[in-house]
Amino acid sequence: MTTRTFHIAAIPADGVGTEVLEAGRTLLDALAADSGGEFAFEWTDYPWGTDYYHRTGQMMPDDGLDQLRDVDAIYFGAVGAPEVPDHVTLWGLRLAICQGFDQWANVRPVTFHPGVTSPLRTIDDTSLDWVVVRENSEGEYSGLGGRNLAGRGPGNEVAVQSSLFTETGCERIVRFAFDLARTRQRKVVTSVTKSNAQQHGMVLWDDVFARVAADYPDVEANSCLVDAMAARFVLHPEDLSVVVASNLHADVLSDLGSALAGSLGLATSANLNPERRTPSMFEPVHGSAPDIAGKGIANPIGAIGSAGLMLSHFGLHDAATRVRDAIDATTAAGVLPADLGGDATSKQITEAVLDHLETAR
Ligand code: NAI
Ligand code: MG
């Protein structure tokens, strides 16, 4: 058998990002070693992030994207440190990669794991199983606007932060959501909108959603205002399957979803360039968690699960299923980190997931 070798760029960046990526990497290497020569991973480490910024004044070098362009995928930790403004760190690295590589679809599954107690105690792991599909290239995070455009000066400053909605941008993410729904047991797409208040961009979003929905008569389509959607996440999680939303709305709702599943530390994410013209990026949803960084207690499940999404992207579906099952077997056995009410360290959880990979063979 010829071994398929996947070249992965690891960018752990800041805080717990470095701790949880280590966990996911250990798992991927174990799977490769166990694949009987089917696949292998070749890693390149990029020491970019806030330390790099302190040394060089930049979050990554000018040719950063060129250095990454030819890899099969990017495995990303988290950026952010208390002493540097968040817009500097986020725009300097993570958003620069997402937007530079046109990773226009951000896929964020929300699932229950057995043995994890959610605030929704009456719901079980069969009734909460969604994917939040986030528009990842424009909308509220298009960077359009400026400060003090009217030159009014201190005390009278004015800032404009505009949202950009293009018909092409809306259509490709909505189609992506419908295509994804077709692969799922419950074929439902819910669009998140705010067209009652935002009469330009969100009305275009609604129009495109209605037009695309007509092409998918086999998929149920409905639309919900973002504020009502927040309540629906909590009150009727069983209604939802694929949720498609703009950049900002999906950012907020997916954190809510992962908190409902138990903790932000569980949440996984794929930033995809579906055309595969540029590398896609896989990362836990959480940030650098400076409050717990360096203590060895960060929940590595979000990062490990994101490595599972990377395996699916490579077409390694059996390996991806093994990762999901090993995570579930770990939580079901009560091996839980502090954010889920347990006392297992990051290392103990990683080892438990590795053990379950063995038994799941
Ligand atoms: P955060 O996600 O870092 O932390 C929020 C809360 O969740 C904290 O109480 C933290 O301890 C907890 N938490 C997060 N990940 C955890 C894990 N793996 N295990 C256990 N508990 C975990 O969000 P916060 O505090 O708003 O931001 C901290 C920094 O991270 C900021 O600089 C922010 O800009 C950055 N950030 C970066 C992101 C990224 O790189 N994708 C995403 C979100 C925030
Ligand atoms: Mg977020």
For residue 20, the ligand 1 atom closest to its alpha carbon is 18
93 in the same domain as 196 = no
**% residues pLDDT > 70 (the chain):** 97
Question: Residue 123: which pLDDT band, with cuts at 50, 70 and 90?
Answer: low
137 in the same domain as 57 = no
243 in the same domain as 281 = no
pLDDT of residue 277: 96
Question: Residue 122: which pLDDT band, with cuts at 50, 70 and 90?
Answer: low
- Three-class secondary structure of residue 163 per DSSP: strand
Q: In what order do the strands lie in the sheet with 4-13?
A: 39-45, 4-13, 73-78, 280-284, 268-272, 105-111, 129-135, 242-245, 188-193, 220-225
Mean pLDDT of 327-334: 95
Residue 83 Cβ contacting ligand 1 at under 6 Å = no
| pLDDT tens readout for residues 20-38 | 999 999 999 999 999 999 9
Of 225, 244, 261, the domain-final residue: 261
Is it the case that residue 361 has pLDDT exceeding 60?
no
Is 209:176 a contact under the CB 8 Å cutoff? no
Of 208, 229, 261, the domain-final residue: 261
331 in the same domain as 227 = no
| pLDDT tens readout for residues 217-243 | 999 999 999 999 999 998 888 889 999
Number of domains in the chain: 2
Residue 286 Cβ contacting ligand 1 at under 6 Å = yes
Question: Residue 126: which pLDDT band, with cuts at 50, 70 and 90?
Answer: low
- Three-class secondary structure of residue 263 per DSSP: coil
pLDDT of residue 283: 97
- For residue 140, the domain's CATH number is 3.40.718.10
pLDDT of residue 234: 87
288 in the same domain as 191 = no
Residue 291 Cβ contacting ligand 1 at under 6 Å = yes
288 in the same domain as 223 = no
- Three-class secondary structure of residue 71 per DSSP: coil
130 in the same domain as 105 = no
Virtual torsion, Cα 329, 111, 41, 97, nearest 10 deg: -150
Mean pLDDT of 196-207: 93
Mean pLDDT of 101-112: 91
Q: What global pTM score does this model have?
A: 0.89
Residue 16 Cβ contacting ligand 1 at under 6 Å = yes
Quote the ligand 2 centre to 361 CA distance (angstroms).
35
Of 204, 239, 261, the domain-final residue: 261
Residue 350 has which token pair? 């990683």
69 in the same domain as 126 = no
Q: How far is CA 29 from CA 110, 133, 156, 299, in A?
A: 25, 29, 56, 19
pLDDT of residue 6: 98
For residue 80, the ligand 1 atom closest to its alpha carbon is 32
Is it the case that residue 271 has pLDDT exceeding 70?
yes
Mean pLDDT of 255-282: 93
Q: Domain range spanning residue 50?
A: 1-109+267-361
User: When comparing pLDDT for 260 and 271, which is higher?
Assistant: 271
Residue 352 has which token pair? 């438990």
pLDDT of residue 326: 97
Is it the case that residue 360 has pLDDT exceeding 60?
no
Residue 316 Cβ contacting ligand 1 at under 6 Å = no
Cβ atoms within 10 Å of 193's Cβ, excluding its own? 24
335 in the same domain as 256 = no
Quote the ligand 1 centre to 46 CA distance (angstroms).
21
- Which ligand sits closest to the CA of 269? 1
Residue 262 Cβ contacting ligand 1 at under 6 Å = no
| pLDDT tens readout for residues 134-175 | 999 999 999 999 987 677 777 888 889 999 999 999 999 999
Is 148:158 a contact under the CB 8 Å cutoff? yes
Size of the chain, expressed as the number of residues it contains: 361
| pLDDT tens readout for residues 211-224 | 999 999 999 999 99
CA distance 167 to 172: 9
Residue 304 Cβ contacting ligand 1 at under 6 Å = no
Residue 346 Cβ contacting ligand 1 at under 6 Å = no
Question: Residue 113: which pLDDT band, with cuts at 50, 70 and 90?
Answer: confident
Quote the ligand 1 centre to 78 CA distance (angstroms).
8
For residue 298, the ligand 1 atom closest to its alpha carbon is 19
271 in the same domain as 256 = no
Is 111:128 a contact under the CB 8 Å cutoff? yes
For residue 283, the ligand 1 atom closest to its alpha carbon is 41
Radius of gyration over alpha carbons of the chain, in Å?
A: 20
Is 120:231 a contact under the CB 8 Å cutoff? no
pLDDT of residue 358: 80
User: When comparing pLDDT for 120 and 293, which is higher?
Assistant: 293
Pocket test for ligand 1, best of 288, 295, 331, 348 (most atoms within 8 A of CB): 288
| Alpha carbon nearest to ligand 1 atom 23, residue | 287
Quote the ligand 1 centre to 265 CA distance (angstroms).
9
Quote the ligand 2 centre to 213 CA distance (angstroms).
27
pLDDT of residue 214: 98
pLDDT of residue 87: 86
Virtual torsion, Cα 224, 226, 227, 228, nearest 10 deg: 20
Quote the ligand 1 centre to 15 CA distance (angstroms).
9
**Torsions phi, psi for 181 (to 5 deg):** -60, -35
186 in the same domain as 133 = yes
Quote the ligand 2 centre to 32 CA distance (angstroms).
31
343 in the same domain as 302 = yes
CA distance 357 to 361: 7
Residue 242 has which token pair? 């694929």
- Which ligand sits closest to the CA of 257? 2
CA distance 87 to 237: 32
| Alpha carbon nearest to ligand 1 atom 16, residue | 265
Quote the ligand 2 centre to 249 CA distance (angstroms).
10
| Alpha carbon nearest to ligand 1 atom 40, residue | 78
